[in-house]
Structure 1
Amino acid sequence: MRRSIFTYSICLVFILLSFKTIAQIPFEVNSNGHIIIKAKINNVEGKFILDTGAGLNAIFTKFSNKIKNEKTPNFFVGHRATGEELNVDLYNAKSMEINDKVFSDQQYTIVDLEFGDIDGMISLQPFRNTPITIDYNNKKILFDRPTKGEKSVDIQIADYAGKAIDIFTFVELNDTLKIQSLLDSGAGKNSFWFSSKLMEALALNKSDFKAVPIKSDFKKENNYYIGKLSTISTLNKLRKVENLDAAFIDELIYEGKTSIDWLGHVLTIDIAKKKIFIAD
């Protein structure tokens, strides 16, 4: 009996220790549905959007004035979803910390934008080798949470020579058309964008949609055709949304770009395994 109690106690200690090692970081969700976390770059704390569609870490000019920036001779050329070219300089982060977890060998760029009290965006770059869980139920971020036995969807990794990283998954629209969609937590809540090139394949008439010209923060104007789409689902039918508000956009550089909240309430992005695990 004593051995049983002793063994139970030891097991309990190990369980408690294992839970203790899983970092839990509270986050806020703003009115646009963005996930806001606190992080330190070069030992200065700021508020950042957790943005799986950002590609690379970015800080805004106002925050860059608070820290010492180590500019490199390197640069990155990419495009925003609506087609604007970005040719940005890269800076070495001497340190990047999220809730005392240190991420080494990080870089960032500086973007001349103002977004309220937000200081920038944390991309998936720090999490190449660290599974990150977004728990919408409890508004917490967790690192290295066990996912054994959980259902999942496959993701495809777009790795731009180590300088930027995005994730995609295949989805099905209206139970007929298979497309590949960028998964973008920076899009906010219930965001569903698709290339207007897909409207013909879906037998959608532009006249049935509201046409709205919209300028981006970088002053490029695109036509948005806003209306209803019958369904979007993961290929394995694990998740499905019906009668969704959608925008079909001229010159969108992706077949699709969606937020990630529709996939579930507790999501673990595991880049190494090329999976998003869904606990709830």
Structure 2
Amino acid sequence: MKKYYTVRSSVYCWSKSFMLLIVLLLISNVNFAQSSIPFELTPQGHILLKAKVNGVEGSFIFDTGAGLTLITKAFSDKIGKVHKQDGSYTGFRATGEKLNADLYDVQSLLIGSFAEHNPVVTIFDVNLGPIDGLISLLSFKEQPLTIDYVNKKIIFETEKSMAGIRKSGHQVGLQLEDARDKALTIFAYFIVNDKLTLQFSIDSGAGNNVYRLNSQFISALAIDTVNAKKIVIPSEFNPALKSVIYQANVKSIQAKATSAIQCTNVQASFIDGLIYDGIVSLNWIGKQVTFDLKRKEMIVR
């Protein structure tokens, strides 16, 4: 009897260890398995993807300049189970326009295999046509990702894949404006006309080939405002507020960290009242752009 008990105990312990090993292998595979989600690139250069909020699918623009994730009032009416926070968030658009945003807790945000539980969003009663909102970088403070313009997909990276990306790409340090864990914007330093080193917001939501600079640099860059095209654009949120913009040629914009990232002879917009040195779109920076916000870096291939 004693011998039988000993053998059975050994088999039980071996089985338990085997099952534990299988679980660990499964966890390991999950941690090192890349996943991705396709996106559509609109004619304007916006990254349009499918995502689910509270299990309801919608069409969203992936916007690195959005600050916080936004859903439209029409879409919020579909998803239910939205809890309004007592507090709110006051921010500023790049043009200096003040925006007061109510904050809401939702149950989940799903983008492909990526899942965030209990994210915070804002809801605006705006008509974005077929677009249900904007997805910001706030959800990805711990999750590295790659925007692949070649294959039109967003790749959720792993520690293993990031090691290879760092070896093959050009690394650019990022500065993060993390506003009380409620909004997140990213910046990097660029050299304009081989003369000024300016900190630009990197904004995938700006569209294709967008270069915006604060009008205070017009004199230093010797911009001819007399012959420059001048336009006035009203705000989408408050038409009474208008931005004055001068459009002129800029000889070069180059990432301070590497000469591999640069553009020449581009049409730039000089904007009165811009709260940043400048804003640039993402598409011209690289065909594959990886963001690792935890390490405050952008890697371009």
Structure 1 length-normalised TM: 0.91
Cα offset, 1:101, TM superposition = 2.0
The structure 1 residue matched to 2:279, chosen from 236, 245, 257, is 257
2:79 matched residue in structure 1: 67
The structure 2 residue matched to 1:221, chosen from 224, 242, 249, is 242
Instruction: Give the letter for the 1:73 counterpart.
Output: D
1:1-280 equivalent positions in 2, closer than 5 A? 21-68=33-80, 69-144=82-157, 145-146=161-162, 147-149=165-167, 150-218=169-237, 219=239, 220-235=241-256, 236-279=258-301
Q: Aligned to 1:207, what secondary structure does the other structure show?
A: coil
2:15 matched residue in structure 1: none
Summarize deviations over 1:145-194 as a string: whole Å, max 9, x none: 42231221111000001000000000010011111000000001101111
Structure 1 CA distance for aligned equivalents of residues 255 and 85 of structure 2: 41
Cα offset, 1:125, TM superposition = 0.8
Structure 2 CA distance for aligned equivalents of residues 41 and 210 of structure 1: 42
Cα offset, 1:103, TM superposition = 1.1
Cα offset, 1:19, TM superposition = 11
Structure 2 CA distance for aligned equivalents of residues 187 and 63 of structure 1: 22
CA contact (8 A) 1:129 1:271 kept: yes
Cα offset, 1:124, TM superposition = 0.3
Instruction: Give the letter for the 2:283 counterpart.
Output: D
Structure 1 CA distance for aligned equivalents of residues 279 and 152 of structure 2: 23
Cα offset, 1:205, TM superposition = 2.2
Q: 1:130 to 1:178 in 2, by over 3 A?
A: same
Structure 2 CA distance for aligned equivalents of residues 111 and 268 of structure 1: 30
Cα offset, 1:112, TM superposition = 1.6
CA contact (8 A) 2:90 2:101 kept: yes
Percent identity over the alignment is: 39
Instruction: Give the letter for the 2:284 counterpart.
Output: W
Instruction: Give the letter for the 1:221 counterpart.
Output: K
Structure 1 CA distance for aligned equivalents of residues 197 and 170 of structure 2: 21
User: Which consecutive residues of structure 1, in runs of 5 or more, have no partner in the other structure?
Assistant: 1-13
Structure 2 CA distance for aligned equivalents of residues 137 and 271 of structure 1: 22
Cα offset, 1:216, TM superposition = 2.1
Cα offset, 1:238, TM superposition = 2.2
Q: 1:114 to 1:157 in 2, by over 3 A?
A: same
Q: Aligned to 2:166, what secondary structure does the other structure show?
A: coil
Cα offset, 1:84, TM superposition = 1.2
Cα offset, 1:210, TM superposition = 0.6
Cα offset, 1:100, TM superposition = 3.1
CA contact (8 A) 1:24 1:142 kept: yes
Q: 1:128 to 1:121 in 2, by over 3 A?
A: same
Structure 2 CA distance for aligned equivalents of residues 153 and 165 of structure 1: 18
Structure 2 CA distance for aligned equivalents of residues 254 and 72 of structure 1: 29
Cα offset, 1:91, TM superposition = 0.4
Cα offset, 1:201, TM superposition = 1.3
Structure 1 CA distance for aligned equivalents of residues 105 and 202 of structure 2: 26
CA RMSD of aligned residues (A): 1.6
1:6 matched residue in structure 2: none
Q: Which has the higher helix share?
A: 2
Q: Aligned to 1:201, what secondary structure does the other structure show?
A: coil
Instruction: Give the letter for the 1:38 counterpart.
Output: K
1:8 matched residue in structure 2: none
CA contact (8 A) 2:166 2:299 kept: no
CA contact (8 A) 1:54 1:123 kept: yes
Question: What number of residue pairs does the alignment pair up?
Answer: 264
